[in-house]
Homo-oligomer: A and B are copies of this chain.
Amino acid sequence: MSILIHNCTAVLMDEAGTVLPGAYVAVEGSKIVSVGAQRPAGDFETEIDGKGGVLMPGFVNAHTHVPMTAMRGYGDGNNLQDWLNNYIFPVEARWDDRAIRACTDLGLAEMIASGVTCIADMYGHSPAIAQSVADSGISANLSVGGVQFSDDFDPDTHNDCRVQRELTETWHGYNDGQILADASVHGEYTSHHQLWRWMAGYARDHGLGMHVHISETRSEHEACLARHGKTPIQILNDYGVWDTRAIAAHCVYTTPEDWAIMAEKGISAVHNPMSNLKLGSGIAPVPAMKKAGVNVALGTDGVSSNNCTDFFGDLKLAAILHNGAGCDPLALLPMDALRMATCDGARALGRRTGVIAPGYTADLILVDFSHLNLTPCHSVVSNLAYAAHGSDVAMNMARGKVIYKDGEFLTIDLERVRREVADYALPLLFPEK
């Protein structure tokens, strides 16, 4: 299948930050094969008219929990412990695979409509999530979010080790890498060293990445210091957790010593500004981490703590928050935020996407710049980072296939999903309602 996209301005997200008017982008199968200002030779099975819009890489949502879309706004207005113990955990105990599928489909649809083409998800029931992702057409690094609440640990029977093995064996590398299994530790505070060591070894033996919640709240960070005399980054480092490509979500309370480890080991931080603000976690030191050489990606976190997935909203918040928090209007530039949302996210996930260049995966979105909120346009990059909304996404192409166009989903049967959520998942999860 060969496709030519033309009549658009392409924001390549290459090193030089190229914005290419009158771009021609050719796609063959799941890959970009050429990019330029001249029409490439040859015929194309399909031509897509960009109608004067802006083509950019699809967004990489580098930390999320898609099924939690079911809990949008549930228990809001409670403090964190009450929210978790009285609202979130009781609901999570009721999941089955059918409900996971329905709520994942719903969450993926919302993401796709706002321009996401790739995610790193952490949640139990990840094999069921994998099936939804596979059907949707986007790419995903999936992880279980391994927990260990007792010192008594047998990897042969431990539930999260079992699910990890099932995920890896069934899904890792599926469809030329559309789905990758990552190893995972939910967090330092929800596990013990036996799990850390096992996951580190499992990742090494199977060539997997690693996904961990790190220093999201002050209390979590300080409790770790009190327990171990080391930060979460440091203690997990002692157990080899970072001896592979790794995603460290949140990093709000990480220290300069942590950043040195992260830069050296190639650990990517994932900034989740909406969730960190809403839940009162704090403001991650993003400019300082970047200055220390840490790769910083962008995530929405789960809908239960965001409470939506307009990825352009998260991008804008990432772009402006650190200017305000540091009283420096140049702390992050619009292009810095766009990189976090695309190429730097791709690096976090170990994927060749997030850049429009030959050989990269054809994860592309077309943004309709005729909309009022993008008029006038003095700077394409500035309009993308500060003024665009999810509702400006006119097309989402994932792995070379158009999966969303002009408000229609081409891989998700939205009416069926809505029925499954309303008639099956919500009654199961919220029986008191």
Q: Contact between B72 and A376 (Cβ–Cβ < 8 Å)?
A: yes
Which of these, B70, B327, B386, B390, contacts A76 with CB under 8 Å?
A: B386
In angstroms, Cα B414 to Cα A265, docked, is 54
In angstroms, Cα B379 to Cα A10, docked, is 40
In angstroms, Cα B309 to Cα A387, docked, is 8
Q: For A34, what are the chain B residues with a Cβ–Cβ distance below 8 Å?
A: none
- Specify how many copies of this chain sit in the oligomer: 2
Q: Which B residue's beta carbon lies closest to that of A429?
A: B376
The answer, yes or no, to whether A79 is at the interface (CB within 8 Å) is yes
Which of these, B280, B376, B430, contacts A328 with CB under 8 Å?
A: B280
In angstroms, Cα B110 to Cα A330, docked, is 27
Report A305-336 CB contacts with B as 1/0, cut-off 8 Å: 01111100100110111011111111101100
Q: For A330, what are the chain B residues with a Cβ–Cβ distance below 8 Å?
A: 77, 79, 280
Query: Shortest beta-carbon distance, A32 to chain B, in Å?
Result: 27
In angstroms, Cα B426 to Cα A378, docked, is 10
The answer, yes or no, to whether A33 is at the interface (CB within 8 Å) is no
Query: Shortest beta-carbon distance, A391 to chain B, in Å?
Result: 4
In angstroms, Cα B69 to Cα A378, docked, is 11
The answer, yes or no, to whether A346 is at the interface (CB within 8 Å) is no
Q: For A310, what are the chain B residues with a Cβ–Cβ distance below 8 Å?
A: 373, 389
In angstroms, Cα B371 to Cα A414, docked, is 11
Query: A106-B372, A330-B280, A426-B376 in contact; A389/B386 too (CB < 8 A)?
Result: no
The answer, yes or no, to whether A134 is at the interface (CB within 8 Å) is no
Query: Shortest beta-carbon distance, A287 to chain B, in Å?
Result: 11
The answer, yes or no, to whether A48 is at the interface (CB within 8 Å) is no
Q: Which B residue's beta carbon lies closest to that of A284?
A: B324
Q: Contact between B307 and A387 (Cβ–Cβ < 8 Å)?
A: yes
Q: Contact between A113 and B76 (Cβ–Cβ < 8 Å)?
A: no
Which of these, B218, B309, B333, B421, contacts A327 with CB under 8 Å?
A: B218
Q: Contact between B306 and A386 (Cβ–Cβ < 8 Å)?
A: yes
Q: Contact between A71 and B307 (Cβ–Cβ < 8 Å)?
A: no
Q: Contact between A72 and B378 (Cβ–Cβ < 8 Å)?
A: yes
* B-contacting 9-mer, from A144-152, A203-211, A225-233, A270-278: A270-278
Q: For A374, what are the chain B residues with a Cβ–Cβ distance below 8 Å?
A: 72
The answer, yes or no, to whether A198 is at the interface (CB within 8 Å) is no
Q: For A283, what are the chain B residues with a Cβ–Cβ distance below 8 Å?
A: 324-325
Q: For A191, what are the chain B residues with a Cβ–Cβ distance below 8 Å?
A: none
Q: For A430, what are the chain B residues with a Cβ–Cβ distance below 8 Å?
A: 378
A103-120, CB < 8 A from B: 106, 109-110, 113
Q: Contact between A375 and B421 (Cβ–Cβ < 8 Å)?
A: yes
Which of these, B79, B277, B373, contacts A320 with CB under 8 Å?
A: B277
Q: Contact between B334 and A110 (Cβ–Cβ < 8 Å)?
A: no
Q: For A387, what are the chain B residues with a Cβ–Cβ distance below 8 Å?
A: 72-73, 303, 306-308
In angstroms, Cα B317 to Cα A70, docked, is 22
Q: Contact between A323 and B277 (Cβ–Cβ < 8 Å)?
A: yes
Query: Shortest beta-carbon distance, A16 to chain B, in Å?
Result: 16
The answer, yes or no, to whether A350 is at the interface (CB within 8 Å) is no
The answer, yes or no, to whether A360 is at the interface (CB within 8 Å) is no
In angstroms, Cα B106 to Cα A111, docked, is 29
In angstroms, Cα B426 to Cα A375, docked, is 11
Q: Contact between A72 and B372 (Cβ–Cβ < 8 Å)?
A: no
> Closest 10 CB pairs between A and B?
A277-B324, A280-B329, A73-B382, A391-B391, A307-B386, A277-B320, A308-B387, A278-B320, A280-B323, A76-B382
A-B contact pairs, 17 of them (CB 8 A): A72-B376, A73-B377, A73-B378, A73-B379, A76-B386, A274-B320, A277-B325, A278-B329, A279-B323, A279-B329, A280-B324, A281-B327, A306-B387, A310-B373, A310-B389, A313-B316, A378-B430
